Every structure is written in structure tokens, then in C-alpha cells.
Structure 1
Amino acid sequence: MVEDQLEWRRARLVNVKIEEGVNEITDPREVNHPRLLITMNTKSSALPELNSISFYDMFINPSILYCGNTKGLIFSHDTRSHANQTPSQLKMKGIVTSLQLTRNDTHLVASDTLGNAYLWDLRMKKVIVEYKGMKNESTRIPLHLDDEEKVVYGCDLEGYTRLWCKTSGRLLRTIPSPVPCSSTSVPAVMYCENLGNRPGNSALLLGAGDKLYVYKV
């Protein structure tokens, strides 16, 4: 009985249209191992900003999508609405490489390929803090927020990891990379204020090549 139900469910996955503009397609030859492909039909004329997306992030409310594009525009879109929307836009100077929303959905940390890094107030739609020192030319280098949302940090094209105070923009620490860097081998970094659940045990984890480095911060 259970096997019959499974076979029926597999058969249901073969070439089924679930709604206009969205299709589920699987290969009938692989019914025992069905695969799912979803294709979405979009209108490029409705939101031309969506044609050159370089980065995106979601609000705590998963219906709101924030995107950055190759023209330096940052805009939001309500995924529940099927109507053409005029997105609210913020403007960076270069290609948007990183977006990080705060937990309260009122601020956004963004960076671009020119090394600019800002904290945006989404209600006032303006920059309230600038994080200086990032070196970048064309690489999509991410900026991060620590779990407590007190520190903004990231590793740049020259291999220097910088940590800033989120609210003031003050540079807290600069850590050079222990290995040579390039546009294709920027170290991955993670800052933790309470490493190992030990209060005050702040540290930076840096991954480069096949090695992991730990810095006491």
C-alpha cells in the first residue's frame, strides 16, 4: 500500500503545471528518482533593475526582498505583490557587492566594488555611518555583522581584515592576512564576541587556503 502511494506521488511529479508561469518538470525516465525544476517567467520591462542583480538579502519578514545591482542601486520588492512596483531605491557608487540587514529591519550594511561601505537608515533612506579603509576594485567582497550586531567587519582585496564599531564607524582593529591574497583568493573571516559561549572571549577566525587561523581580538 505504501509503495503504491509512493509510485502515485512520483507519477504526479512528471510534467505537471502547477500555475501560470511556474512549471514543475521532471524526466519521465527517472521516475524512481524524480528531479524538480522550477522556471519563472518574468517581465524585464516591469522592473528593469532586476536584470542586473549582483547581491540580495531578505528581511526578517521573508516577503520583503532587498537587492543590489551592477548599477549601484539598492531596492526592495514585496514578493507577495504581483503588480508592477516602483521600488524604493538607495544608491551606491559602485557595483553592490554585499548587503546585510539588521535584525530589526531598520538598518542595512552595504558595500560596493569601489571599497565604499555604509550603514543605511532604511526609514530615512540615507547613510548614517561610513566604514573607511576597505580596498576593492572589482571583487565581490562581503561585509559582515557579528551576532551581537556591534561590529562590522570584512577582509578586503589586499588581505586586510578590518573591524569597525557599527554605530560610530570607528576602526577597531586591522589584521593583515597571513598568506598572499588575490581577487580570487580573499580569506574568509568570521568574528565572534563570545567564542565557545565564553563571555568576553572575542576572536576572529580566518580561513585561507587549507588553514584556519584564530586571532584574539
Structure 2
Amino acid sequence: MPGHNNYNPLTKESIQYKAMECKRLRLLEEEEKQKKKTTRAGLNSSMLLQKRQLGLLSSTSYCRLVHELKVNCMQRQKIEIHSPDSSVAGTNNFKIIVADVACERIFTVNDVEHGGCKYGIINLSGLGKETLTVEMYDNLYFTNRKVNSVCWASLTHPDSHLCLMGIAETPGCASLLPASLFSSTNPGDRPGMLCSFKISTAWSCAWCLNPQADNCFSTGLTRRVLVTNVVTGHRQTFGTGSDVLAQQFATQTPMLYNGCRSGEIFSIDVRQRNRKGQSWKAIRLFHDSAVTSIRLLEAEHYLMAGDMAGKIKLWDLRTAKCVKQYKGHHNEYAILPLHVNEEEGLLTAVGQDCYTRIWSLQDAHLLRTIPSPHPSSKDAIPSVVFSSRLGGSRGVPGLLMAVKQDLYHFSYN
């Protein structure tokens, strides 16, 4: 009733949160004590080596199983970030980290307390050193808009630019920034913003690497897709009927794959002219919930998709059927990415419960569940990057995790 002073701290939510926090602390304690068990019976390094020497394992299978063993032994270490501006280093929460193709750098987006975002680039070459420090480039940029989608773009050379999608109370903004903007020390040498225009609410973006649709990037908007050529300025608009939350271009064909809030996944041939209706949709797949992330596998015969029901499915594009399902992921309403590493044979995803899970790509077996170093909350969902070469071609293998103001490295033993 209005004006009552009765307060009961024992609510359903508080009891569930307390149970989740006890579970997280128990798992963290087990990790510190290195109570690790192999996820497959009889799988150990000596057995793998013996099978490899006897010719019972191919080099691909051997490498994949070795990565499975190493993933179960990864240990957490905190990374020290050296920033030119010590006043802003470590004061804002990480929201997004995205690595370039070679995993030499990561682009970071941080939420700022008074609203908006701060973004910059971190060099990962220091991960191979004993001190475990990384360097943030000199130039940091602030925006009053909320950056909710980022991808690397290869315009003049591999990973030369960055596509940013920002939203605000006023119309949002799509921008293409040169990566050299963050490393140029002389203000006169800094290149300008190549492309920037106002849009409605943006949900996703993707850069095209196929030569038949060169210099193009796509923006997933509310009920439409906008494909822009950054050199000519030509734009194509495709009406979708639903918000486009996830996108990825194919590399072998000029096809753009889209995942929608309605649960539909479809492809667009970007060479065609604008068309009304839905006849231009090529491959069409359907989830029971909003699709939040899609990833094409290297041969482009398979597509991985995650949705807001916590389901992760592997689709065969040739038959339009689901061939595998990866269980254990948790999601109810957040837009969460999937990370596919085919060379290592691993799938990584962070759930809304703030747990990072790693599966085997081959048989969908859950290999490892990593608890967050911080208590679970909506603003503390980790952002991760996994690679066997963090820092470049001679880099170190492991998992990068950004959560709150901290950056962690889960390294192989």
C-alpha cells in the first residue's frame, strides 16, 4: 500500500542472485586451486602424442585435441594497461573489445560515467613479456553517442579502418574511421573521418571483403539494411520487415547474411538493385527467438547462429537444416556475440549470466565454463577475444577478457 514502511529483503531475485554468487565464488576458488579435469575420458597429452606417433591421428585432429587440453588448463592473469592519459585509464567500464584479423591490436569501447563512450586501440605485443603489459595508443576519443556495434574494415590495406555504429536520443550515426587516427602523434598528420552519416537506430555492421562488392559496408537498422560504398557514396536499401541485429558478408560470393529480431536469417546478393517485397531474399532460416549473432565458417557451407533463447545452432546452408546445437549458453534479451576459431576447433560465447563457455566445434561438447572475476550484473557482462596468436604471428595463445575496468589474460600453461 502507498506509504507503507514494511521492507522484506528476502525476494525471489535476491535469493537467486545470492545462489549465483555463491556458485561463482566456488568456481573461482576451484580455478585458483587448479582442480581441473579433462572433459573427455582418457584424454591426456601423453596419449595424444602416442597416437600421433603411431599415425592414428591426423595433424588437424591432433592440434584440435591439444587445444582442448590447453583450454582446460588456462589460468587467469590480470593485464596492466599503459595509457598516455593516466587520468582516464582504468576509470571506465569496458563494453566491447574487437581484435583485428592478425590479433595484433584490439579496438576498445568503454562506457563513460556521464554518458556516451570512449574508444581507442590497444597494442597486444606486450603479452609475450613477463610483465604482461599492453600499450594503449596515444589518441583516445570520446563521443556522446552510445557505440553498440564495431567491425574492422580493410579499405587501403588489411584492417586499415573501423566501422562504428552509434545511437543517441537524436538520430544515430554511422562512421568509418582510419585506424591510423589513433596512433598519429602529430595533429597535422591525422587523417580525417572518411565516411559519416546520420541514420536511424543502428544494431549491427559488417565490412565486405569480396572484390565484386569492393569498398562496401553494411548497416543493420530498424526494419531495413543499408549497404554503402565508401568510395562512390552509392547506397542500397533493402526493407526487411524486422530489426537486423546481426550481419556478416561472405568472402567467396557477394552475399550478405542477416539475423533479425523476428528470428529469421536470410541472405542478400548485394549486386542486385533495390527491390520491394521479400522476393530478393535467397537462403532463409528460422529461429524461435531473436537472432543476436551469426558467423560463417571458412568454407561458407555452414553458418553459426545464436539467439535470445540461449540456443546456438550450426546450419548447413546447402540443405537449410540445423546439423548441431551447442547447449549451455544463457541469454534472455541481450545482443551477445559468438566467436568461432576454426583452426583451434573452438566456439566461445559469453552468456547473460556472465559465464564464458567454450565448446568443441566438431561435436558440440562443452569444454570449459569460466566464471567472471566480478559479480554478475547487466553492466558487467565480459567481452572476450580468443586466439592462438595474441599479439601477432609469434604471439601467445589464450583468451582475453575485458570486464568492468579490468583486462585479463587466460594463458596456456
**What is the TM-score of this pair, normalised by structure 2?**
0.40
Question: 2:249 corresponds to which residue?
Answer: 58
Q: String of CA shifts for 1:97-141, please: whole Å, max 9, x gaps.
A: 001111211111110011000111111111111111011110001
Question: 2:349 corresponds to which residue?
Answer: 154
**Structure 2, unaligned runs of 5 or more:** 1-192, 198-232
Q: Matches of 1:34 and 1:194 in 2, distance apart?
A: 30
Q: Matches of 2:384 and 2:246 in 1, distance apart?
A: 19
Q: Matches of 1:160 and 1:211 in 2, distance apart?
A: 16
Question: 1:172 corresponds to which residue?
Answer: 367
Residue identity in the other structure for 1:186 = I
Q: Matches of 1:86 and 1:142 in 2, distance apart?
A: 24
Q: Report if aligned partners of 1:146, 1:193 keep a CA contact under 8 Å in 2.
A: no
Q: Report if aligned partners of 1:147, 1:192 keep a CA contact under 8 Å in 2.
A: no
Secondary structure at 1:114's aligned position in 2? coil
Q: Matches of 1:125 and 1:149 in 2, distance apart?
A: 26
Q: String of CA shifts for 1:73-94, please: whole Å, max 9, x gaps.
A: 0000100012551432111121
What is the RMSD of the two structures over their aligned residues, measured on CA atoms? 2.6
Q: How far apart are 1:154 and its partner, in Å?
A: 1.0
The correspondence of residues 26-175 of structure 1 with structure 2, limited to 5 A, is: 37=197, 40=235, 42=237, 44=239, 48-49=240-241, 51-61=242-252, 63-82=254-273, 84-146=279-341, 148=343, 150-175=345-370
Q: Matches of 2:411 and 2:194 in 1, distance apart?
A: 49
Secondary structure at 1:153's aligned position in 2? strand
Q: String of CA shifts for 1:150-191, please: whole Å, max 9, x gaps.
A: 100011111110000111100111100001233343111112
1:189 is aligned to 2:380: no
Q: Matches of 2:399 and 2:194 in 1, distance apart?
A: 43
Q: 1:215 to 1:149 in 2, by over 3 A?
A: closer
Question: 1:211 corresponds to which residue?
Answer: 406
Q: How far apart are 1:214 and its partner, in Å?
A: 1.5
Q: Matches of 1:150 and 1:34 in 2, distance apart?
A: 37
Greater RCO, CA 8 A, separation 6+: 2
Between structures 1 and 2, the one with greater helix share: 2
Secondary structure at 1:193's aligned position in 2? strand
Q: Report if aligned partners of 1:102, 1:149 keep a CA contact under 8 Å in 2.
A: no
Q: Matches of 1:185 and 1:131 in 2, distance apart?
A: 24
**Structure 1, unaligned runs of 5 or more:** 1-32
**What is the TM-score of this pair, normalised by structure 1?**
0.73
Q: Matches of 2:366 and 2:194 in 1, distance apart?
A: 52
**Percent identity of the aligned residues?**
32
Q: Report if aligned partners of 1:181, 1:187 keep a CA contact under 8 Å in 2.
A: no
